[in-house]
């Protein structure tokens, strides 16, 4: 097939600027071929090169004594969890593909992040996701949303959740936590951020390097097709109806059963020591895997495309190199050990082919039937994409945001209906319609299921990849793992059972209204959710979802958001181990709200420290850690609040301020109290404020499928500051946690919290069949079965319409 001539229009269609094209010519010393143009276009896309955000990403804290593989080094970061064990984790987006083909877009997003984890030598043990859609109810659509848009939002939600469930359930990985938000800004621009965590020993860390001159290069996995063609480039441009239709082929098609075989084969292969390097063919497919592995090792790589298994006839070199067909891996094998590799691939019934060799040229050379079609310097292709320092300008809308005052909205006179509306608002309501489609118990390692502040999993002996000569003997009935090791008659203890907590958080409304403060809050809430579960943070992975960086107002959001994230991660000692930047999340109607999703992983020292959000026993005391109201905030916590959006249809006002040092003191104090054994439940106060947090603590304990433990409470807030009723009950001031303790320990816990520098107030008692709240303005009561029905059924009822 004759390749097209390289014209200015063709360069533009590849999303490259004239200046970038000139740089390519300088690197090559000539004009690129058509295939080379495609190779540069995907590798220099924002999705692969971070050319618009790299200077900002360098400001993140990325070091700690526990980090074994840091941000940007490999496919995922790895953190030590003690006793020779480590966890690998990362979050990535699949936003544009999910907008075009929600089922396959979301499914392959899960598949891609799973591959990032087992590529590191870790066994994937759990998945998490963060999802954003347009409104699915007329009440939440600001009144002006056509029914057709609401129907489309429901279609996208159903497709995305179905895709995540399909891939995770078939692969056999539990989806244990997540978040789902609904806002008109995501209409047509859903966000699908997928997280995966895996487990390995320190000595099992694999590297994505094409090391060892003369080592053979193997392709393993299904044949390459035309699906997913140039997906990385598609994800690096604005989403329009025209681009979506044109790029429908850029959405990959996944096969979770094949991925399971590839995972097991790769982990077995890594255990043999025959592997010199391994990389998955994710974004940019064969292009990315070849040039990046060579660049990391300062070597070259040469491959022959006629040896690449191909699913479609007459595929061109351009199509083969840019295809993002799923479940494929590139494996660099130590020379002389090829037969071991072939035996393992054939054992798992996997297609494979030896397609190339590691060279000392420093170049990525691609041949097709012996003819050179790509010859480029590997390191310059992988690492020398242009870096831009974009103009940043404060958005005009922030002037009206800061000008907003509470005089513009009336206070509540009766909060009963407001709590009912908030608890049934899809962004606050139970997400059981979503997570009941996921298998969150497969592998039997889930300790705290979806529905509490954070998920908790235990690292079982069969979660750790096998090592030759070591046979897992299991746990000893307590919390110690034992192994059968060579030259030992009896199993020996190799470490305590590990308990890992995971959460994902971001209130994008806050970030829209104040990118710096809102991003600090996102990190603080993640750390607070971990603390409420009994965990101290280990590290963070982030997914930065924003609009077009060429818009100075959008780039201001990005810059200020990164500044807030970096500052907060330093304070909480939760370094960034890696992540993903997803830009161009906008359509002709505008950009999404800036959404820097934060996934944070923490370690729980003992199983006795695991804490959940629901009230436990009648007669327990309810204690508020932190102040009921932040009187220093002119908006009393109502800026950007759920109450302001649901009751008044206003998304405005400066969000609550976030004092990171005070937040850190609060989290450390809570953990100290949990370690004493006095805390029975802990739940952070976030969207919806104190009243929603109390309601959730009363109604969220599911004891069996279809059965719930609804536990009432009486809470007296009459000693709180005399402020607006909506601010007291539904304001979202930061740094507040609702805990319950036995009545006998209440005084002790309050005094101990104060000694630790945290305000604490005994505000109520657990018990009864209703939630009752008393304030200076009056006393109100809510029937628990009604609240539960509204909360539990809100999303399901909307999806059945």
Is residue 628 a contact partner of residue 690, using CB atoms and an 8 Å limit?
Answer: yes
Euclidean distance between CA atoms 513 and 363, whole angstroms: 47
| Token pair recorded at residue 735 | 């740094």
Is residue 79 a contact partner of residue 568, using CB atoms and an 8 Å limit?
Answer: no
Number of neighbouring beta carbons within 10 Å of residue 411: 12
C-alpha 697: how far from chain center: 25
514 burial class (0-12, 13-18, 19+ CB within 10 angstroms)? Answer: buried
Is residue 779 a contact partner of residue 729, using CB atoms and an 8 Å limit?
Answer: no
- Cα–Cα distance list, 721 to 259, 630, 776 (Å): 57, 9, 9
Q: Which one of the listed residues 47, 96, 609, 683 is annotated catalytic?
A: 47
Cα-Cα-Cα-Cα dihedral of 392, 396, 398, 403, to 10°?
150
Q: Which one of the listed residues 14, 94, 166, 788 is annotated catalytic?
A: 94
47 labelled catalytic: yes
Number of neighbouring beta carbons within 10 Å of residue 444: 9
- φ, ψ of residue 371 in degrees (nearest 5): -90, 130
- Cα–Cα distance list, 783 to 122, 300, 710, 713, 771 (Å): 48, 69, 10, 11, 7
| DSSP string over 316-375 | -HHHHHH---SS-EEEEE-TT-HHHHHHHHHHTT--EEEEEEEESSSEEEEEETTEEEEE
550 labelled catalytic: no
Buried b (16+ CB within 10 A) or exposed e, 307-332: ebbbeeeebbbbbbbbbbbbbbbbbb
| Token pair recorded at residue 498 | 């590990």
Query: 195 has which bridge partners?
Result: 91, 128
| DSSP string over 681-716 | EEEE--TTHHHHHHHHHHH--EEETTEE----EEEE
Fill in the DSSP letter of residue 579: E
Residue 308 three-state SS: coil
Handedness of CA 557, 562, 565, 566 (dihedral sign): negative
Residue 212 has, within 13 A of its CA and on its CB side, a CA count of: 21
Euclidean distance between CA atoms 559 and 122, whole angstroms: 33
Show which residues are catalytic. Answer: 47, 94
């Amino acid at each position: 097939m004759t390749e097209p001539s390289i014209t200015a229009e063709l360069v533009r269609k590849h999303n490259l600027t004239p200046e970038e094209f000139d740089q390519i010519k300088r690197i090559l010393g000539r004009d690129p071929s058509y295939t080379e143009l495609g190779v540069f276009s995907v590798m220099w896309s924002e999705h692969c090169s971070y050319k618009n955000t790299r200077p900002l990403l360098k400001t993140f804290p990325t070091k700690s004594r526990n980090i074994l593989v840091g941000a940007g080094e490999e496919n995922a970061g790895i953190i030590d969890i003690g006793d020779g064990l480590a966890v690998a984790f990362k979050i990535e987006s699949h936003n544009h593909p999910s907008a075009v083909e929600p089922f396959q877009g979301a499914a392959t997003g899960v598949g891609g992040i799973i591959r990032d984890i087992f590529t590191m030598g870790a066994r994937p043990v759990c998945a998490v996701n963060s999802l954003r859609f347009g409104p699915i109810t007329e009440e939440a659509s600001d009144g002006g949303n056509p029914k057709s848009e609401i129907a489309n939002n429901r279609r996208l939600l159903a497709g995305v959740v179905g895709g995540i469930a399909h891939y995770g359930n078939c692969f056999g990985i539990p989806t244990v936590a997540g978040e789902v938000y609904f806002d008109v800004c995501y209409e047509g621009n859903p966000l699908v951020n997928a997280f995966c965590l895996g487990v390995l020993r320190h000595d099992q860390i694999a590297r994505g390097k094409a090391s060892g001159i003369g080592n053979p290069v193997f392709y393993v996995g299904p044949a390459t097709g035309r699906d997913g063609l140039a997906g990385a480039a598609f994800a690096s441009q604005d989403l329009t109806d025209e681009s979506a239709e044109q790029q429908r082929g850029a959405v990959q098609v996944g096969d979770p059963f094949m991925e399971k075989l590839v995972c097991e084969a790769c982990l077995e292969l890594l255990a043999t020591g025959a592997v010199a390097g391994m990389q998955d063919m994710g974004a940019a497919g064969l292009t990315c895997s070849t040039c990046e592995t060579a660049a990391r090792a300062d070597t070259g790589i040469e491959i022959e495309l006629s040896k690449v298994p191909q699913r479609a006839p007459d595929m061109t070199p351009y199509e083969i190199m840019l295809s993002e067909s799923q479940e494929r891996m590139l494996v660099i094998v130590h020379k002389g050990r090829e037969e071991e590799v072939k035996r393992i691939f054939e054992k798992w019934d996997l297609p494979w082919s030896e397609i190339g060799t590691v060279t000392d040229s420093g170049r990525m050379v691609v041949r097709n039937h012996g003819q050179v079609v790509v010859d480029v310097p590997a390191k310059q292709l992988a690492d020398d994409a242009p870096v831009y320092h974009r103009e940043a300008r404060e958005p005009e809308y922030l002037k009206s945001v800061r000008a907003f005052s509470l005089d513009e909205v009336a206070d509540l006179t009766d909060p009963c209906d407001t709590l009912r509306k908030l608890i049934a608002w899809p962004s606050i309501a139970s997400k059981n319609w979503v997570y009941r489609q996921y298998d969150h118990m497969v592998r039997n390692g889930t300790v705290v299921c979806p529905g509490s502040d954070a998920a908790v999993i235990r690292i079982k002996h069969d979660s750790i990849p096998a090592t030759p000569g070591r046979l897992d003997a299991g746990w000893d009935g307590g919390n110690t793992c034992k192994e059968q090791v060579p030259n030992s008659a009896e199993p020996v203890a190799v470490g305590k059972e590990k308990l890992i907590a995971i959460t994902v958080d971001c209130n994008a409304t806050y970030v829209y209204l104040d990118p710096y403060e809102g991003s600090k809050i996102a990190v603080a809430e993640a750390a607070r959710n971990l603390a409420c579960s009994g965990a101290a943070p280990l590290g963070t992975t982030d997914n930065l979802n924003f609009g077009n960086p060429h818009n100075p107002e959008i780039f201001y959001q990005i810059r200020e958001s990164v500044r807030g994230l970096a500052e907060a991660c330093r304070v909480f000692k939760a370094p960034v181990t890696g992540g993903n930047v997803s830009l161009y999340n906008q359509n002709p109607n505008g950009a999404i709200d800036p959404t820097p999703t934060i996934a944070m992983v923490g370690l729980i020292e003992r199983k006795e420290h695991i804490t959940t959000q629901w009230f436990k026993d009648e007669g327990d005391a309810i204690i508020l850690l932190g102040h009921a109201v932040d009187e220093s905030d002119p908006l009393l916590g109502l800026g950007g609040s759920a109450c302001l959006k649901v009751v008044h249809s206003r998304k405005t006002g400066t969000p609550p301020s976030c004092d990171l040092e005070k937040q850190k003191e609060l989290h450390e104090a809570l953990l100290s109290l949990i370690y004493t054994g006095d805390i029975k439940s802990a739940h952070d106060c976030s969207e919806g404020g104190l009243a929603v947090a109390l309601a959730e603590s009363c109604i969220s304990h599911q004891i069996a499928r279809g059965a719930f433990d609804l536990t009432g409470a009486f809470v007296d807030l009459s000693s709180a500051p005399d402020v607006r009723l909506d601010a007291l009950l539904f304001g979202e001031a930061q740094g507040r946690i609702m805990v319950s303790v036995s009545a006998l320990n209440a005084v002790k816990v309050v005094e101990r919290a104060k000694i630790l520098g945290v305000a604490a107030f005994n505000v109520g008692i657990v018990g009864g069949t209703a939630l009752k709240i008393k304030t200076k303005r009056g006393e109100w009561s809510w029937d628990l079965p009604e609240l539960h029905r509204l909360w539990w059924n809100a999303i399901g009822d909307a999806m059945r319409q």
